[in-house]
């Protein structure tokens, strides 16, 4: 709330900001109604001409992109202002806006600076020691379109002017954000990005950037804001190639799903590792052991060996009847054909054509020798055209194809992996038993195997590709012409940069000629992210992986294939590793792909968990690893967490009491308990959301420790901590922003016991 008290005297500073914000919204409303009108217009039927349809597509893409961005930022458009030491100021907001210059020259002057623009950077980094040319930084708090508070920090310590809104400690806005009741959906942090976070968000590093930090250090927030920043900074490339954000499970992706739209960005694909194989929904669940076996790097070799077994040899011969002759394909002949085919080092399905050729040649030679040999001198009486005719006739014999199908079958990834999981080979008996499949459902760990299989098999689509390529080059030439027209007529002012080749969302920026040509197909109006979701071989412009410590080596192989440029941001915390399948160190993850060419950064301040709770959580880890250092909590609340014993029969009742006690007036509470207790607890805690993907926006949510990963709540009640492993317990204890209780019947783990 406003920190200035002026009695009945209107606060001039507030009034001035309100006037400015009103002007911004007038501008936005005008832009919006123009954009709405033109989307409508652009959607009007346009006849059947290719050119008309293409122009309509450009218009719809361009205008609806602008509209979506304007809608997304409504209500929190502008949140800051910087006053420069040499006069002048800039307002900072979620998007940049320009308006007509008052001098009527037709110039368009920036009135709101996008938070990602270089001009806005001092807003996040300037300090009294390093003012970066600033005199003052102002945080503007709004409720809807109304300005409700201002917080000013003087950065020029010699300046005597006061506004009446001074924030002496400089952290009032941050602390208010941290103490706000949670909604069950992660919010953006664009108003209060801290300097160490800003450096990561804007890191110019183009390769792999690893961001490590303990619970609540803002790793997820930073990763998402980095995505938004990169989309701004490299809009042309990234809008075309899309950004992929990988999170541990669909519930987590739902939790973070609103952050980027609130920053005006929608061209991003969010997916969990189980969603990365188009056409497959991984609804099954593996045991941790099975996921670990399936995730091992050796599985790549195992699958290759499994596939090699499918390139069979006759046992002992295959007899083919042809033209009253019987041709015998024996193991020796087929081995030669197989070795020659393998030498080409092509994926299995692509290599099949070679194998067919070798087998046909073998049979042709056999037959030619049999029917064409001169009985007197042993020479062959057949000429080339006879040989060709024999070959053609053999190629028309279905028995030949039955043999080829047996010896070198065409396979889909699904077939190969399903057969392997039904009867696993090339593994120890113990590992085979662990992964043998009992249901038909695919699991997230299977997805990496399917992807590996798809690589090994390849797709024999050369004929289709050649035809598509011919057609496409004609369209590209045509689309290039249309784009040139679009570039010449770029107009609108969704921009705060002065140079003209920056961030305007023009058709020329978001779509290049090739993509435009593809889009020309009447029913393909998909965005890059949508196209990427449907294409296993899509190469993303950038990949962000959250909870990166959980991914298995096989999952890394899949992700690295999706990002040939290795432009990636990986965030994680090895101390929170839950999955057996997870890789132990960044080195182990990255060495096979980028050797040591990756950067490591660390976040050390915990913005979520108050110091009192963090002390307890750290004690649990220290009991196992004495030197363990948790991140430093940015605030203390004075509220101590409590630990209570309950009788075995009273556990559910004690949980219900704990919930009543910890229930925040506003906000969310989570009960984190072993899954086998969920039914009993749900009976006592009315209205709690539960299940595989519980609705996190409900007041009370019942989770197991794995589901709690990455989430946060105002209050948390941890039940039966003795049943959790150390890292799961560490995760569970660090989810609360305000209050924590623990209820147990059994022994307490070391660190929690008094």
- Interface contacts to ligand ATP, rule CB under 6 A: 174, 177-178, 189, 192-194, 197, 213, 215-221, 573, 576, 607-608, 710, 712, 734
Q: How far is the CB of 206 from ligand ATP (least distance, A)?
A: 23
d(CA 559, CA 594): 13
β-pair partners for 149:
141
Identify the sign of the CA torsion 421, 423, 424, 425: negative
Name the token pair of 649: 């029969």
d(CA 599, CA 206): 10
Q: Specify the residue, 192 or 349, whose C-beta has the smaller distance to ligand ATP.
A: 192
CB 117 within 8 A of CB 497: yes
Q: Specify the residue, 33 or 183, whose C-beta has the smaller distance to ligand ATP.
A: 183
Angle of helix 444-457 versus helix 348-372 axis, rounded to 10: 40
Neighbour count for residue 490 (Cβ, 10 Å)? 14
- Angle CA(554)–CA(560)–CA(562) in degrees, nearest 5? 110
Helix or strand holding residue 543 (H, E): strand 542-545
**Is 220 flagged in the annotation as binding?**
yes
Q: Specify the residue, 217 or 520, whose C-beta has the smaller distance to ligand ATP.
A: 217
**Is 215 flagged in the annotation as binding?**
yes
**Is 218 flagged in the annotation as binding?**
yes
- Angle CA(478)–CA(481)–CA(485) in degrees, nearest 5? 145
**Is 219 flagged in the annotation as binding?**
yes
**Is 569 flagged in the annotation as binding?**
no
Q: How far is the CB of 218 from ligand ATP (least distance, A)?
A: 3
Peptide bond into 724 cis (omega under 30): no
Rg of the chain, C-alpha, whole Å: 32
User: Left (φ > 0), alpha (ψ -120 to 50) or beta: where does 647 sit?
Assistant: beta
Strand order in 568-572's β-sheet? 268-271, 243-246, 542-545, 568-572, 208-213, 598-603
Q: How far is the CB of 495 from ligand ATP (least distance, A)?
A: 26
Name the token pair of 503: 């961030």
CB 77 within 8 A of CB 115: no
Q: Specify the residue, 483 or 696, whose C-beta has the smaller distance to ligand ATP.
A: 696
Q: How far is the CB of 654 from ligand ATP (least distance, A)?
A: 26
Q: Specify the residue, 527 or 738, whose C-beta has the smaller distance to ligand ATP.
A: 738
Q: How far is the CB of 429 from ligand ATP (least distance, A)?
A: 38
Neighbour count for residue 423 (Cβ, 10 Å)? 10
Q: How far is the CB of 248 from ligand ATP (least distance, A)?
A: 10
Q: How far is the CB of 10 from ligand ATP (least distance, A)?
A: 31
Q: How far is the CB of 711 from ligand ATP (least distance, A)?
A: 7
d(CA 550, CA 580): 8
Q: Specify the residue, 96 or 215, whose C-beta has the smaller distance to ligand ATP.
A: 215
| Nearest alpha carbon to residue 408 among 312, 331, 531, 491 | 312
Q: Specify the residue, 119 or 221, whose C-beta has the smaller distance to ligand ATP.
A: 221
Q: Specify the residue, 11 or 546, whose C-beta has the smaller distance to ligand ATP.
A: 546
Q: How far is the CB of 176 from ligand ATP (least distance, A)?
A: 9
Q: Specify the residue, 174 or 533, whose C-beta has the smaller distance to ligand ATP.
A: 174
Q: How far is the CB of 174 from ligand ATP (least distance, A)?
A: 5
CB 116 within 8 A of CB 95: no
List Cα–Cα distances, 430 to 284, 291, 293, 433, in angstroms: 21, 14, 10, 5
Per the listing, tokens 């998909």 go with: 526
d(CA 481, CA 155): 52
Q: How far is the CB of 83 from ligand ATP (least distance, A)?
A: 22
**Is 694 flagged in the annotation as binding?**
no
d(CA 338, CA 582): 38
| Nearest alpha carbon to residue 445 among 280, 203, 691 | 280
Q: Specify the residue, 13 or 714, whose C-beta has the smaller distance to ligand ATP.
A: 714
Name the token pair of 118: 């270089």
Q: Specify the residue, 317 or 605, whose C-beta has the smaller distance to ligand ATP.
A: 605
CB 481 within 8 A of CB 507: no
Name the token pair of 295: 């995730």
Q: Which residues are annotated as a binding site for ATP?
A: 213-220
Residues comprising the binding site?
Answer: 213-220
């Amino acid at each position: 709330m406003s920190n200035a008290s002026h009695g009945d005297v209107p606060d001039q500073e507030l009034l001035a900001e309100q006037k400015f914000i009103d002007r911004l919204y007038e501008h936005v409303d005008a832009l919006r109604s123009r954009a709405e009108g033109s989307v409508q217009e652009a959607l009007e039927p346009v006849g059947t001409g290719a050119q008309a349809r293409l122009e309509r597509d450009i218009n719809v893409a361009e205008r609806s992109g602008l509209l979506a961005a304007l809608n997304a930022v409504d209500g929190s458009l502008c949140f800051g202002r910087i006053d420069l030491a040499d006069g002048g100021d800039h307002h900072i907001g979620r998007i940049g806006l320009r308006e007509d210059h008052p001098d009527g020259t037709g110039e368009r002057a920036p009135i709101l600076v996008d938070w990602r623009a270089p001009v806005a950077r001092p807003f996040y980094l300037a300090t009294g020691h390093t003012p970066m040319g600033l005199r003052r930084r102002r945080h503007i708090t709004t409720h809807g379109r109304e300005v409700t508070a201002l917080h000013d920090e003087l950065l020029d310590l010699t300046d005597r002017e006061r506004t009446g809104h001074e924030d002496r400690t400089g952290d009032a806005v941050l602390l208010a954000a941290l103490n706000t009741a949670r909604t069950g959906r992660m919010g953006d942090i664009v108003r209060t990005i801290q300097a160490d976070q800003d450096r990561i968000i804007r890191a110019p590093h183009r390769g792999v950037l690893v961001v490590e930090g303990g619970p609540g250090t803002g790793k997820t927030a930073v990763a998402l804001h980095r995505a938004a920043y990169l989309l701004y900074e490299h809009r042309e490339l990234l809008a075309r190639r899309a950004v992929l954000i990988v999170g541990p499970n669909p519930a987590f992706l739902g939790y973070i799903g609103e952050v980027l739209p609130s920053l005006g960005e929608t061209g991003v694909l969010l997916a969990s590792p189980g969603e990365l194989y188009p056409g497959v929904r991984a609804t099954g669940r593996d045991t941790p052991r099975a996921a670990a076996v399936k995730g091992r790097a050796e599985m790549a070799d195992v699958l290759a060996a499994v596939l090699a077994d499918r390139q069979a040899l006759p046992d002992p011969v295959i007899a083919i009847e042809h033209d009253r002759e019987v041709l015998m394909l024996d193991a020796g002949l087929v081995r030669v054909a197989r070795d020659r085919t393998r030498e080409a080092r092509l994926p299995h399905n692509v290599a099949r054509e070679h194998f067919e050729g070798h087998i046909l040649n073998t049979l042709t030679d056999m037959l030619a020798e049999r029917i064409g040999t001169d009985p007197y001198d042993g020479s062959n009486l057949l000429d080339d055209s006879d040989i060709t005719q024999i070959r053609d006739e053999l190629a028309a014999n279905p028995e030949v194809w039955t043999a080829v199908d047996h010896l070198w079958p065409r396979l889909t990834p699904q077939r190969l992996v399903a057969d392997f999981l039904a009867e696993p080979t090339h593994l120890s008996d113990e590992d085979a038993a662990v992964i043998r499949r009992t249901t038909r459902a695919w699991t997230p760990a299977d997805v990496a195997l399917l992807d590996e299989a798809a690589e090994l098999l390849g797709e024999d689509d050369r004929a289709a590709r050649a035809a598509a390529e011919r057609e496409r080059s004609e369209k590209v030439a045509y689309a290039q012409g249309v784009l040139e027209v679009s570039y010449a007529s770029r107009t609108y002012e969704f921009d705060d940069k002065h140079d003209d080749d920056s961030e305007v969302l023009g058709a020329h920026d978001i779509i290049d000629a090739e993509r435009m040509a593809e889009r020309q197909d009447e029913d393909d109006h998909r965005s890059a992210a949508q196209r990427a979701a449907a294409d296993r071989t899509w190469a993303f412009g950038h990949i962000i992986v959250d909870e990166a410590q959980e991914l298995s080596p096989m999952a890394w192989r899949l992700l690295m294939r999706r990002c040939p440029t290795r432009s990636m941001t990986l965030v994680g915390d090895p101390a929170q590793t839950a999955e057996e399948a997870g890789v132990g160190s960044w080195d182990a993850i990255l060495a096979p792909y980028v050797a040591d060419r990756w950067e490591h950064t660390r976040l050390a301040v915990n913005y979520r968990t108050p110091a009192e709770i963090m002390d307890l959580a750290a004690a649990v880890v220290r009991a196992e690893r004495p030197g363990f250092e948790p991140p430093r909590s940015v605030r203390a609340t004075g509220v101590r967490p409590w630990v209570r014993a309950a009788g075995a029969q009273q556990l559910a009742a004690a949980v219900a009491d704990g919930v009543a006690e910890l229930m925040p007036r506003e906000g969310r509470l989570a009960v984190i308990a072993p899954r086998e207790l969920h039914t009993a607890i749900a009976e006592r805690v009315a209205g709690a959301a539960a299940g595989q993907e519980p609705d996190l926006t409900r007041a009370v949510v019942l989770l197991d420790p794995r589901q709690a990963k990455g989430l946060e709540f105002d209050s948390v009640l941890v039940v039966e901590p003795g049943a959790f492993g150390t890292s799961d317990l560490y995760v569970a204890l660090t989810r609360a922003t305000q209050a924590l209780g623990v209820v147990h019947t059994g022994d307490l783990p070391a660190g929690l016991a008094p």
